[in-house]
Structure 1
Amino acid sequence: MTGPILPRRGPASRAAPLAGLAVLALAFVWHVSVGARPIPPGIVAEALLAFDADVLDHVVIVDLRLPRALCAVLVGAALSVAGALMQGVTRNPLAEPGLLGLLIGASFAVVLFVGVLGIAPPAMIPLVAALGATGAAAAVWGIAAAAPGGATPLTLILAGAAITAFLGALVTVATLLDERSFEELRVWLTGSLAGGRLDQALWALPWLVAGLAVALGAARQVTALAMGDETAIGLGMDVGRLKARLLFAVVALTASAVAIAGPMGFVGLVVPHAVRLFAGQDYRRVVPWSALAGAAYLLVVDIAARMVLAPVEISTGLVTALLGAPIFVWLVRARL
């Protein structure tokens, strides 16, 4: 046997993804339509299907809003699936890329290479971010494992907070020492989709696709792993190899998200918990639903970042933190 016995999906459950895609499509059209210059959905469809460079609204949609919306979809899906995998593998309801140090690790590596060393080819950014995320994850796990009682949910969160604070301080020192060199990175470090660049997203896309492919392919095994290593071993799984594959998926997804839009905390915490309210604990449903819900969630959050204090725009990462922090506090009170 290679996995747990899970119920077959009926017609209603097979139709559910279509409903999810419809919601995502509506959020996407809404995102592209709103802004300092509202554009009717009909014009949006016209710009996408029959672009005319002489029509100002078409140019605004295709050159400015469409790249930003696509970046929001990619980043939201990547961080949500990464958070779902981390929660399943560690059996820690508080696990997500930001709280366990992966976001700051990826960001620190990018700042080091781009801002300090001046090495900034777009193709290298996802790889640099992946190395930083891996290093931070290893440091957090090492610190937590060395604590009395081992790597418990609490020690992992505390170790993640320590690594986040330390690397965050180093990033701040670097930006203060050379403000001119870090001017462009300062907004990116808050987690921003403003000026979403498709060229950078294209370089990150292979990492993101690879991470999603591994996550979807291993979803059944993650369900067993979430029940405990002993259960997974009893079902004939190679737990060590499976965890290595899933670590690659988490790092690849986190690195691609950071390369596109900088660090955005709490997306990987909020979305998987919301998904489990209707998708249950079967990761064959949790993983794809996290991707769909995460993409729609970040589209809506980015709309709020643009419109709540218009014409002033807030960094999207600040809004995800404002929304996610209360949920984190509630989870701490409920689970620890």
Structure 2
Amino acid sequence: MYQAVSAEVAKLYVGQDELVLGTLTALFSGGHVLIESVPGLGKTLFVRTLGRALGCDFGRIQFTADLMPSDITGAPVFDMQKSEFRFRPGPVFTQLLLADEINRSPAKTHAALLEIMQEYRVTIDGTSHVVPQPFLVMATQNPLESEGTYNLPEAQLDRFMFKLKVDYPNEAQEAEILKLHSKQVNLNERLENEVRTITDPETVRKMIQLCGTVNVEDALVDYINKIVRATRSWPAFHIGASPRAGLALMQCARTLAGFGGRDYAIPDDVVEVAIPALRHRVQLTAEAEIEGRDVDEELLAMIRGIEVPRD
């Protein structure tokens, strides 16, 4: 299914293989994705195309400084005809949600997403409203502009399975983008006519359950455990990864094995997802930041020092 979905997405969305692979891995692992990129790289187009290919609903929230929690979750409104309050669902009641520039909103708005991302439900006035599944949050933040932004709390960063960094396309890809999207053709028509829906939400849910059955040997579990625990004692890190990071590595290794047509995970699966799964869960020490060290490079050096299981 991974190859089929990727092929459909590629009809309108050019390049960014890491973003496509990371997002699909998180989706089929039951996780969420934080994307760090500059504006204008087609993230909204990607989510819309992905939703079309998967047969899932798509939603988008533009985060701003005055965005309220009720603008995300929904709120009770008074029904004049029935003389009673009824719940009006917010834009979060979708399946693929793009939370654009999430770091432009204050902490109370971020907190509104916490329960939804973890529990897949919204609680309003003591009543729980279930969010349709599969449910994937793709949150974006702009690394360049810091004015008017709020740092995401560690509790919310830990909720994201991956942090993906999206860079500019290469020269050939950018030329293809210019040819593909400069004809002023209605995007809705192109999605309808060019991108096939190859699955449905129920099949995606079954695939998520199927990925969870992939075998992970005890030796690989120990390898994952050593990687996560090593982040807590690595000299360059002030804060290490939580046990949730180990769960993310386990789930994603299973999913990658499934993408590869295997019913067992291997160390290469773990290594492939280790950096995007850990880079937002660790923090450099003040000394390491002053020295200009990079989180990804430190993680790579740490992983290379851990013995890989051979059996």
TM value normalised by structure 2:
0.26
TM value normalised by structure 1:
0.25
Larger relative CO (CA 8 A, sep 6+): 1 or 2? Answer: 1
Return the structure number with greater helix share.
Answer: 1
Return the structure number with greater strand share.
Answer: 2
